[in-house]
Amino acid sequence: MGNTVNTILFLAAVCLVIIFFTSSEKPHPFDAHIAWLVENSEFEYYGETYPSVSYHSTEDLQIIAYGSKKIREAEIAEKPLPRIKALYNHRTNSLMFLEGMDITADDTAYIVVHELVHFLQNTNGITAQTECIASLEQRAYVLQAEWQEEHNHPGPYPNFLFVKLLSSSCSR
């Protein structure tokens, strides 16, 4: 009788250990993207804390990205601003995504890869050396496009004319 109880307790302990290890070894959704970026770029990764993740409405993301003044001006000029799907805040090391977006899904992976370039620019000291944050977009879009090409990703390719326009806003 005592033996049976001991066996059950032992098996229960083994189960807990297995549950603990399988849950702690579960890869983070950013792991594979970071590994690819380190392999395919000048960036290094030394285990810096991943950005925190939060989800926001389209309206909120547009306001955070452009500011309400610029949005109003664009509305008056009837030249709508490009819709923001994600943002990286280097000051708080946080990622903001459009609500309802599944950042572990294949179809949104190119967006996550792009934002993680900004994270690596930050941890590799590039952001701090940059006077104009918009100039960081060039590298992020190039690496995003290379990632899409290598993974045969159907997501929309970056518009490099738009990227050039973004960077040129720096020299003004």
Name the site residues for Zn ion (rule: CB under 5 A).
Answer: 137, 140
The least distance separating Zn ion from the CB of residue 150, rounded to whole angstroms, comes to: 19
Beta bridge partners of 97: 55, 86
The least distance separating Zn ion from the CB of residue 22, rounded to whole angstroms, comes to: 35
The least distance separating Zn ion from the CB of residue 121, rounded to whole angstroms, comes to: 9
Residue 50 or 127: the one with the smaller Cβ distance to Zn ion is 127
Nearest-CB residue for Zn ion = 140
The least distance separating Zn ion from the CB of residue 74, rounded to whole angstroms, comes to: 19
Residue 120 or 140: the one with the smaller Cβ distance to Zn ion is 140
d(CA 95, CA 93): 7
86 phi and psi angles, rounded to 5 deg: -160, 155
- Neighbouring CB atoms inside 10 A of 32's CB total 13
d(CA 54, CA 86): 10
Residue 11 or 122: the one with the smaller Cβ distance to Zn ion is 122
Residue 25 or 131: the one with the smaller Cβ distance to Zn ion is 131
d(CA 50, CA 96): 13
Residue 19 or 165: the one with the smaller Cβ distance to Zn ion is 165
Ramachandran quadrant class, 43 (left: phi over 0; alpha: psi -120 to 50; beta: rest)? beta
DSSP conformation letters of 146-171? HHHHHTT--SPPP-HHHHHHHHHTT-
DSSP conformation letters of 1-29? -HHHHHHHHHHHHHHHHHHHHHHHTPPPT
The least distance separating Zn ion from the CB of residue 123, rounded to whole angstroms, comes to: 15
